[in-house]
């Protein structure tokens, strides 16, 4: 029973019309359900499916510092516990987590492209290629971020293409901030943050994940066994690229820094390095069903699927995914 009260006549009419439409939809679904393999049932009743990617946290970092009360008094109290904690977080813990995350994002990127070192003349073209790759992967235009080392940032800011784009670009140069390039927010990072052989990284906000399960930091004054301050902290975190949205992560790396793709023939995989594969058609870089390949093994894919595999050589980034 539906009770409608204390509303205007116009609102009452709208609600009644909506209820009538809902009843018609229910009758149509019930009628369609009586027919096996009905397109109507497929169109109306198809359930939303889940894509599962199991993620394992690996980074559990802790630190302990002490400030001896006698030494601190001898140094005119220059070692304030709160300041030392802030220094540890800003100069040690946070940079270490950021460097780890960038390394993971590059390694797990959906697109890893090799290139000679960009120059002032072609850096904008390289970034345009990255933007096109995200467009082709149907990545949303907003919340795209371009992470550049200071060296690459300088090339962008001084390139003729960037300086001549529009007034916004010239204002950005005057302020020392790149602003946007091809709709991507430009973020300058220290050279040490990105891996040495990486020129830049493009990532959509929803394609990457960096969960922090624990981020504790405490200062204890005169605890048992310490005459002074005891500073403790623990960070439990990790970084991932989501397989369903891996097209939103693009890395430009130096030449010869990527593993060679494996070859698949007659159910066997040939490669120079460690190989992981799937038989259900899923991407072996992110799939929970991926397995390590044992040389010489003959594989049989599931019905309607292909063998998919990639290779990782020592000191190199993962290869493209091969099919066969």
For the stretch 30-74, pLDDT in tens is: 565 554 455 554 554 555 566 667 788 888 888 888 877 776 665
Class at the top of the CATH hierarchy for domain 258-324: mainly beta
Please identify which residue in the block is written with the tokens 């066969």.
324
> What does the block give as tokens for 226?
């310490």
- Convert the pLDDT of each residue in 121-155 to its tens digit: 899 999 999 999 999 999 999 889 999 998 998 88
Please identify which residue in the block is written with the tokens 């390289």.
126
> What does the block give as tokens for 280?
């259900």
CA distances from 160 to 145, 190, 201, 206, 299 (A): 22, 24, 22, 32, 53
Question: Other C-beta atoms within 10 Å of 182: how many?
Answer: 18
Distance from the Cα of residue 162 to its chain's centroid:
27
Question: Other C-beta atoms within 10 Å of 106: how many?
Answer: 25
Query: Distance (Å, rounded) from C-alpha 113 to C-alpha 125?
Result: 14
Q: Give residue limits of the domains in the chain.
A: 9-45, 59-253, 258-324
What pTM value is reported for the model? 0.75
State the 10-residue block means of pLDDT for the chain, 324 residues long: 52 67 65 52 53 79 80 61 77 88 93 91 92 93 90 85 55 54 87 91 92 83 80 87 91 91 92 91 89 91 92 91 90
Residue 168, pLDDT score: 46
Question: Other C-beta atoms within 10 Å of 287: how many?
Answer: 20
Query: Distance (Å, rounded) from C-alpha 103 to C-alpha 108?
Result: 9
Please identify which residue in the block is written with the tokens 């007659």.
266
List 66's β-bridge partners, or say none.
Answer: 230
């Amino acid at each position: 029973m539906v009770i409608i009260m204390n509303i205007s006549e116009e609102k009452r009419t709208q609600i009644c019309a909506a209820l009538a439409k809902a009843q018609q939809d229910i009758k149509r679904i019930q009628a369609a359900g009586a027919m096996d393999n009905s397109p109507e049932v497929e169109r109306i009743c198809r359930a939303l499916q889940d894509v599962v990617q199991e993620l394992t946290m690996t980074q559990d970092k802790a630190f302990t510092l002490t400030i001896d009360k006698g030494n601190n008094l001898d140094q005119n109290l220059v070692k304030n516990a709160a300041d030392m904690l802030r220094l540890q977080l800003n100069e040690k813990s946070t940079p270490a987590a950021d460097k780890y995350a960038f390394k993971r994002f590059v390694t797990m990127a959906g697109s890893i492209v090799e290139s000679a070192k960009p120059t002032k003349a072609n850096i904008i073209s390289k970034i345009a290629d990255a933007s096109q790759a995200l467009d082709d992967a149907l990545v949303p235009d907003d919340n795209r971020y371009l992470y550049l080392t200071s060296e690459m940032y300088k090339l962008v800011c001084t390139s003729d293409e960037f300086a001549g784009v529009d007034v916004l670009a010239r204002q950005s140069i005057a302020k020392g901030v790149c602003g946007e390039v091809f709709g991507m927010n430009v973020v300058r990072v220290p050279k040490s943050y990105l891996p040495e052989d990486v020129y830049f990284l493009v990532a959509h906000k929803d394609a990457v994940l960096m969960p922090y399960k624990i981020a504790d930091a405490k200062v204890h004054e005169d605890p048992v066994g310490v005459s002074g301050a005891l500073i403790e902290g623990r960070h439990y975190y990790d970084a991932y690229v989501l397989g369903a949205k891996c097209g939103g992560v693009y890395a430009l790396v130096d030449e010869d820094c990527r593993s060679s793709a494996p070859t698949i023939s007659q159910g066997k995989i040939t490669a120079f390095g460690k190989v992981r594969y799937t038989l259900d058609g899923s991407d072996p870089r992110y799939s929970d069903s991926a397995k390590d390949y044992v040389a010489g093994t003959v594989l049989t894919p599931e019905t309607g699927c292909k063998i998919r595999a990639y290779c990782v050589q020592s000191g190199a980034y993962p290869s493209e995914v091969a099919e066969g």
